[in-house]
Amino acid sequence: MTILALDGIHKSYGRGPSKIQVLQDVSLDIQHGEICAIVGPSGSGKSTLLTLMGLLDRPDAGRLLFEGEDIGCATADRLAALRGRRVGFVFQSFHLLSRLTALDNVALPFLYRGLSPRSCHGRAVAALERVGLGDRIHHRPEEMSGGQRQRVAVARAIVGGPALLLADEPTGNLDSESARQIIDLFNGLNADTGLTVVIVTHDPTIAGCCYRRLTMSDGRLVGCLPSGPEAAARL
Ligand SMILES: Nc1ncnc2c1ncn2[C@@H]1O[C@H](COP(=O)(O)OP(=O)(O)O)[C@@H](O)[C@H]1O
Ligand SMILES: [Mg+2]
C-alpha cells in the first residue's frame, strides 16, 4: 500500500528575479512499511522534499497523495490534523525544549490533543522506555548526551503512533556510536511496528543501512535504487 505518492512535484521559493526553483518534476512513491534514505549534495532540495512529504508545506504544482488523500484539496486544518496524527519528525538539532524534562518534551504533543495528563504521562514513559531512556525521564536536555537527546526526539516523534517518520540528517550532530544507535532504533521501529521511515542523510554508512536510496541533484530525483518488482518483493 502506498503511503505517499508524489507526481510531478514542483516547488520554488521567492518571487521575480530572486525566485529559486528548488524541486523540479519530482515523482516517487513511498510504500507503507518501507525504510528509505534520501541522499544528495547540500542544496539539492532534500529538506524541501521532506517538508512536503510531512505536509508542512504544499507543492506549487504536481500532485501529492498522503494515504490516498489528495493534499492539494485539503484545508490547512486538515493538513495540520493529518500531520499531527500520522507524521513524526526528527531533526539534526533535536529541537527539544531546554526547560522541560525528557518526559514533558515527549508528553507535550498530547497536551494539544486534549488527552488526560495521566494518559499523556503513561504514553510518554512508554515511548521513552522504547528508545532506551526509561531511567532518564526526569532529566533535562542539558543533562543528556547528544545521542540521548536525539533518542528523546525520536520518542517524541513516535509517541502518537504515526504511520510515517521523517528524519532530516538525524545523525549529523552525533558521534558514530550514537549515530549507529539511532539507525538501529529506526530499523527496530520499522521491523516491530511497520513504521514507514524516510531518512535524509549525508552519511553513506547510514544510507547503506536503508534498503532503498533516492538520490537528489539540483532539485531533481536522479536515482532511485533499487526499484521495480525486486524492491516491492522485499516489502
Ligand atoms: N524557506 C526557504 N526560502 C528560500 N529558499 C530556500 C528555503 N528553503 C530552502 N531554500 C533553498 O532551496 C534550495 C534547497 O534547499 P534544501 O531543500 O534545504 O536542500 P538540502 O536539504 O538538500 O540541503 C537551497 O538553494 C536553499 O537555499
Ligand atoms: Mg537539508
What CATH number does residue 144 fall under? 3.40.50.300
Q: Which comes out higher in pLDDT, residue 228 or 62? A: 62
> Within a domain: residue 188?
yes
46 touches ligand 1 (CB under 6 Å): yes
> Within a domain: residue 197?
yes
For residue 153, give Cα distances in angstroms to 46, 78, 103, 115, 213: 20, 24, 11, 20, 24
Q: Per-residue pLDDT for 205 more than 90?
A: no
Q: Which comes out higher in pLDDT, residue 40 or 225? A: 40
CB 223 within 8 Å of CB 215: yes
> Within a domain: residue 14?
no
> Within a domain: residue 15?
no
Across the chain, mean pLDDT equals 92
> Within a domain: residue 177?
yes
User: What pLDDT, on a 0 to 100 scale, did the predictor assign at position 227?
Assistant: 54
> Within a domain: residue 125?
yes
215 touches ligand 1 (CB under 6 Å): no
Strand, coil or helix: 47: helix
- Mean pLDDT for 200-219 is 88
pLDDT bucket at 230, cuts 50 / 70 / 90: low
> Within a domain: residue 28?
no
> Within a domain: residue 49?
yes
pLDDT bucket at 208, cuts 50 / 70 / 90: confident
Mutate to test the pocket of ligand 1, among 9, 11, 13 (most ligand atoms within 8 A of CB): 13
C-alpha cell at 213: 536510496
- Mean pLDDT for 89-98 is 95
- Mean pLDDT for 216-221 is 96
Find the domain containing 113 and state its range: 33-58+81-234
- Give the distance (Å) from ligand 2 centre to CA of residue 193: 27
- Structurally, how many domains does the chain consist of? 1
pLDDT bucket at 229, cuts 50 / 70 / 90: very low
User: What pLDDT, on a 0 to 100 scale, did the predictor assign at position 113?
Assistant: 78
